[in-house]
Chain A
Amino acid sequence: MSRYKIHLLVCGGTGCHSSESNLVYEMLRDELERKGLEKDVQVIRTGCFGFCEKGPILKILPDNTFYTQVKPSDAKEIIDEHIIKGRRVYRLLYTDPETEEHVPDSKQMDFYKKQLRIALRNCGTIDPENIDESIARDAYQALGKALTEYTPSETIDLIKRSGLRGRGGAGFPTGLKWEIAAKNNADRKYVVCNADEGDPGAFMDRSILEGDPHSVLEAMAICGYCIGATKGLIYIRAEYPLAIKRLKIAIAQAQEYGLLGEHILGADFSFDVTLRYGAGAFVCGEETALIHSMEGKRGEPSNKPPFPAQSGYLGKPTNVNNVETLANIPAIILKGAEWFSSIGTERSKGTKVFALAGKINNVGLIEVPMGITLREIIYEIGGGVKNGKKFKAVQTGGPSGGCLTEKHLDTPIDYESLTAAGSMMGSGGMIVLDEDDCMVSVAKFYLGFIVDESCGKCAPCRIGNKRLHETLGKITAGKGTQDDIEKLRNLGSVIKDASLCGLGQTSPNPVLSTLDNFMEEYLEHVHDKKCRSGRCRDLLYYVISKEDCIGCMACKRVCPTHAISGEKKEAHVINQDVCIKCGACMEKCQFDAISLMNDYPRVSATAAQTITES
């Protein structure tokens, strides 16, 4: 048997896929064939490497070369230079932004140094469409171990001891969840994998399913063994076509090998998995709504209790776990509860996958041990804020989360500390905001999302959030009053207390946490009619520069509301109270003296009074 001497790993995650990694893959193969090297060099399409900022990624083994932003047209050069002549293509290597030096080996990259990959252990190193590669990496060994060495209750106990908590956001202990489902007797039970990832900017579940689908299938089977279920369902949004495709392939391959189906690995245990598609509603990530949606009903949550573990899908006990939670299970069983619980903090064990997005240099997917600080994530792994701007806040937990500011940078991250800081773990989206972002607008953006996604079943969420959104709209338009700020706070706490499900109960968080941390920005919007970042268009002002204005009167003549005053050959002034911001003056000015600013020279209160009186 001839062995491949070199492996080329091309990232096939959605991020790189959309920047033509597919074509890179094809071109590399074509080029190898042309050179007669197809027997020596293997090209593999893997899951996400995490370094989405610089995709498409191409990793060359065994020398660990990490090429970034590879274009299809680079394929020939890579094969000619690197593969045939053994010379690295320097222009494609990752460049360290600080030292500006090429980093040939991915192990030297700050992005990877601090990461600990458990859930993402196989993402970017195996071909997700080939079960053999998964098997080589221990896939289904944990299932085998559970089936042959442990009873279901021993397995549950192991998960409980590991301290694993739900990675979908709320952080409920996974072992306990399984135990409750196991204790409820019924003729049929279900294992559901919640792959309805809806937070804006979050893509960890998608990446796991795209990069290592077998880890999730295996974990579902283990869960089925523990709670006594024979049927697994993956609820996935239809807008994840690549994840769906790879899951389908993975399920078919596992069935063919007999790793799903009847009498798995010779044990008296049968389990099968099917897919259920969601239409991409945010609320369907809530487990009761998710179950209703799978039953063909409206995706609306219902009151708990009864919990799904008691009466879930089709009225049967159902265990719902998030993708990332499940991806941890096989590793825990193989390496032991003690190994897992040695990672992380007192109450939050293991690692967490975060999707870094926003104004950060290294946008991408990372997995870090619990207890790491935000500073390490943003400045060391993330490479700092884009364009050297000043860090303002990081939004975590999606629309249900909140903003963390500079003062939280050194807080160790775990479920409790994030909640205490007014945010939440959520599913792991992290959006970095810099000085150019307006916090009121950010809150408004998330509220807009909530208003779109609220299912409308309960009034606090349906009507309350609409009112919050309107009030924020008013403030960003410069029409807000002090009363509006009070209203935001009161209404926010009412929605929190009175909503039916987790979506509503957390929906005012973006508003409340920005009120807590950025009150001065709200006050500026309301009282000074000023937006310091210049994001709120209605709070921008046309201002004439005294130095550049030659007093030609052109703008004065064109102003439809006669807001411009000033004599010939003297600098003109715009009266902001009268200006309707049509922009006609700026267009007319031939000396570039008029510009759009986030503030204007203010006259003192008494002077303003005399102007209005006269």
Chain B
Amino acid sequence: MDGIKTLADLKKKQEEVMSRMSLRDRAENPESLVQVKVAMATCGIASGAKEVMEYFIEELYKRKIDAVVTQTGCMGYCFAEPTVEISLPGREAIVFGYVDTRKADEIIERYIKEGELVDGIIPQNYNTI
């Protein structure tokens, strides 16, 4: 790096390094953002959850959607792995099953962006304490 010679340089540099920090800034206020939780237990990983998670992280960034992508443990729907739980601000969390990268793309485009429900929702019919 040749140094920061003007304020514009500094702003450019800030943009450059910002993405490295965005995860930390977003963590301050996760309720106000789209939260994507990918089930990453053995069953999930074996069915490709890692690729799906990676896809979400990359694509949400590219499509400029402010979101927090986290991993969780097994959600219990091992028959439908990889499973992903999505909570939009102010809405109940919804779990999607059999999520591959194509499904992920559909979820981003239709559910996250437009709020439309798409196929593959696993109804949540249990209670937790």
- Which residues of A pack against B, CB within 8 Å? 3-7, 9, 61-64, 84-87, 107, 125-126, 132-133, 135-138, 140-141, 144-145, 147-148, 256-259, 263, 265-266
* B71-A5 in contact (CB<8A): yes
In this complex, the member of B6, B14, B24, B73 whose beta carbon has the largest number of chain A beta carbons within 10 angstroms is B24
5 intermolecular pairs with C-beta atoms under 8 Å apart: A5-B57, A62-B30, A86-B73, A133-B21, A266-B5
Which of A5, A137, A259 lies in contact with B21, CB distance below 8 A? A137
Q: Considering the chains assembled together, what is the distance between the CA atoms of A61 and B20 in angstroms?
A: 13
Q: How far is the CB of B37 from chain A (nearest CB, A)?
A: 8
Residue of B nearest to A87 (CB): B73
* A84-B40 in contact (CB<8A): yes
In the A-B complex, the 8 residue pairs with the smallest Cβ-Cβ separation, listed nearest first, are A258-B3, A144-B7, A86-B73, A62-B27, A61-B27, A136-B21, A132-B17, A266-B6
Taking the complex as formed, is B19 at the interface, i.e. its CB lies under 8 A from any CB of chain A?
yes
**Given A85-B41, A258-B4, A259-B4, does the pair A138, B71 have CB atoms closer than 8 Å?**
no
* B3-A257 in contact (CB<8A): yes
* B73-A85 in contact (CB<8A): yes
* A64-B10 in contact (CB<8A): no
> In the complex, how many residue pairs between chain A and chain B have their CB atoms under 8 Å apart?
96
In this complex, the member of A4, A63, A138, A145 whose beta carbon has the largest number of chain B beta carbons within 10 angstroms is A63
In the complex, which residues of chain A have a beta carbon less than 8 angstroms from the beta carbon of B71?
5-6, 86
* A125-B4 in contact (CB<8A): no
* A61-B10 in contact (CB<8A): no
Q: How many B residues are at the interface, by size bracket?
A: 35 or more
Taking the complex as formed, is B32 at the interface, i.e. its CB lies under 8 A from any CB of chain A?
no
Assuming A63-B70, A137-B21, what are 6 further A-B pairs, CB within 8 angstroms?
A63-B27, A63-B30, A87-B73, A136-B14, A141-B11, A266-B6
In the complex, which residues of chain B have a beta carbon less than 8 angstroms from the beta carbon of A147?
7
* B24-A86 in contact (CB<8A): no
Taking the complex as formed, is B110 at the interface, i.e. its CB lies under 8 A from any CB of chain A?
no
Q: How far is the CB of B54 from chain A (nearest CB, A)?
A: 8
Taking the complex as formed, is B118 at the interface, i.e. its CB lies under 8 A from any CB of chain A?
no
In the complex, which residues of chain B have a beta carbon less than 8 angstroms from the beta carbon of A7?
23-24
Q: Considering the chains assembled together, what is the distance between the CA atoms of A132 and B9 in angstroms?
A: 13
Which of A9, A137, A258 lies in contact with B5, CB distance below 8 A? A258
Taking the complex as formed, is B113 at the interface, i.e. its CB lies under 8 A from any CB of chain A?
no
In the complex, which residues of chain B have a beta carbon less than 8 angstroms from the beta carbon of A64?
27, 30
* B73-A148 in contact (CB<8A): no
In the complex, which residues of chain B have a beta carbon less than 8 angstroms from the beta carbon of A84?
40
* B73-A3 in contact (CB<8A): no
Which of B10, B27, B73 lies in contact with A265, CB distance below 8 A? B10
Q: Considering the chains assembled together, what is the distance between the CA atoms of A20 and B72 in angstroms?
A: 29
In the complex, which residues of chain A have a beta carbon less than 8 angstroms from the beta carbon of B3?
256-258
Q: How far is the CB of B90 from chain A (nearest CB, A)?
A: 18
In the complex, which residues of chain B have a beta carbon less than 8 angstroms from the beta carbon of A5?
23, 53, 57, 69, 71
**Given A3-B57, A86-B72, A136-B14, does the pair A62, B20 have CB atoms closer than 8 Å?**
no
Q: Considering the chains assembled together, what is the distance between the CA atoms of A135 and B12 in angstroms?
A: 10
Q: How far is the CB of B29 from chain A (nearest CB, A)?
A: 9
Taking the complex as formed, is B1 at the interface, i.e. its CB lies under 8 A from any CB of chain A?
yes
Q: How far is the CB of A35 from chain B (nearest CB, A)?
A: 12
